[in-house]
């Protein structure tokens, strides 16, 4: 069984393998954006990697991981609300550029503010790009238990400022296309549910 703790470990090698395009075998179909949102440790990175692995035989796929974006594209931004919104704006811009060229884009970032996510959705819709919000929901108790680095405990102790869900707000989606209860669902079940929605909407073909 795959654990829900990928985001708390150093999995750069696995992510790199997961995001490589499928090459000539990829289905040349319309690109789309899967926007995974939720608190730290909810399983965004884990699920995006596993979904990408299932999509690769059928699509060119890329993952926009929030931590990696922070280290490169958004280096220098802090964690104030304006900086967080700018970070999401940049991720959304890259996601649209990739999806425009037929790539299945999986964005895994906390993206705490509803307005920011809705802006990405609106701009994607203006270009005819399907946008599906995937809300990764888990209780604080479970998130703390998964947190091998102890970030939540430090935030609760006041040692980490601007920590989303503790000292900074998180605005959950009001009507996400997909709701994942990662504190009660297995990774495998969640992957199957995401793929089923994509197939229902004609965004991917059933696995052979």
Q: Is 78 annotated as a binding residue?
A: no
Percent of the chain exceeding pLDDT 90 equals: 78
Mean pLDDT of the region 73-97: 95
Position with higher pLDDT, 5 vs 132: 132
CA angle 9, 2, 66 (to 5 degrees): 40
Per-residue pLDDT of 109-126, as tens digits, reads 999 999 999 999 999 999
Q: Report the mean per-residue pLDDT for the chain.
A: 89
**Is 38 marked as binding a ligand?**
yes
Q: How many other β-carbons are positioned within 10 Å of the β-carbon of residue 95?
A: 26
pTM, to two decimals: 0.87
pLDDT bin (cut points 50, 70, 90) of residue 4 is confident
In a domain, 24, yes or no: no
In a domain? residue 19 = no
Per-residue DSSP letters for 66-97? Answer: HHHHHHTTTTT--SSHHHHHHHHHHHHHHHHH
Q: 48, 52, 107, 111: which is the annotated catalytic residue?
A: 111
Nearest-angstrom CA–CA distance, 101 and 6: 28
Q: What span, in angstroms and rounded, lies between the C-alpha atoms of 155 and 28?
A: 45
CATH code of residue 49: 3.40.50.300
pLDDT at 132: 99
- Tokens 């405990």 -> residue: 153
pLDDT at 181 over 50: yes
The pLDDT of residue 9: 46
Helix or strand (DSSP H, E) at 182: none
107 is in an annotated binding site: no
Residue at 23 is within a domain: no
The answer to whether residue 6 is domain-embedded is no
Residue 153 annotated as binding site: no
Question: What is residue 73's predicted lDDT score, i.e. its pLDDT?
Answer: 86
Name the nearest CA neighbour of 112 among 154, 84, 153, 83: 84
**Residue 58, domain member (yes or no):** yes
- Does 149 belong to an annotated binding site? no
- The dihedral built from the CA positions of residue 161, 119, 34 and 98, taken in this order, carries a sign that is negative
Host domain of residue 98: 31-200
In a domain, 138, yes or no: yes
Angle 12-19/44-55 helices, nearest 10 degrees? 40
In a domain, 7, yes or no: no
Q: Is residue 3 part of a domain?
A: no
pLDDT higher than 70, residue 24: no
At 26-71, the pLDDT tens digits run 445 789 999 999 999 999 999 999 999 999 998 999 999 998 999 8
* Banded pLDDT at 8 (limits 50, 70, 90): low
Distance between CA atoms of 107 and 63, rounded to whole angstroms?
6
22 is annotated as an active-site residue: no
Does 165 show up as a binding residue in the annotation?
no
Task: Give the chain's domain count.
Answer: 1
Kindly tell me the burial class for residue 22, based on how many C-beta atoms sit within 10 Å of its own C-beta (0-12, 13-18, 19 or more).
Answer: middle
12 assigned ligand-binding residue: no
């Amino acid at each position: 069984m795959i654990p829900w703790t990928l985001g708390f470990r150093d999995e750069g090698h696995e992510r790199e393998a997961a995001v490589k395009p499928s090459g000539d075998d990829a289905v040349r179909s319309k690109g789309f954006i899967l926007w995974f949102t939720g608190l730290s440790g909810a399983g965004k990175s884990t699920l995006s990697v596993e979904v990408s692995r299932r999509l690769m035989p059928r699509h060119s796929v890329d993952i926009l991981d929030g931590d990696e974006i922070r280290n490169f594209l958004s280096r220098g931004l802090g964690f104030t609300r304006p900086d967080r919104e700018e970070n999401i704006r940049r991720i959304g811009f890259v996601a649209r550029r990739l999806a425009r060229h037929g790539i299945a884009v999986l964005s895994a970032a906390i993206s705490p503010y509803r307005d920011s996510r809705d802006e990405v959705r609106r701009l994607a819709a203006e270009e005819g790009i399907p946008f599906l919000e995937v809300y990764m929901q888990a209780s604080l108790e479970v998130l703390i238990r998964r947190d091998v680095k102890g970030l939540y405990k430090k935030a609760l102790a006041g040692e980490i400022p601007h920590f989303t869900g503790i000292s900074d707000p998180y605005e959950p989606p009001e009507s996400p296309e997909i709701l994942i209860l990662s504190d009660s669902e297995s990774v495998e079940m969640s992957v199957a549910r995401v793929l089923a929605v994509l197939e229902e909407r004609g965004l991917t073909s059933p696995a052979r």
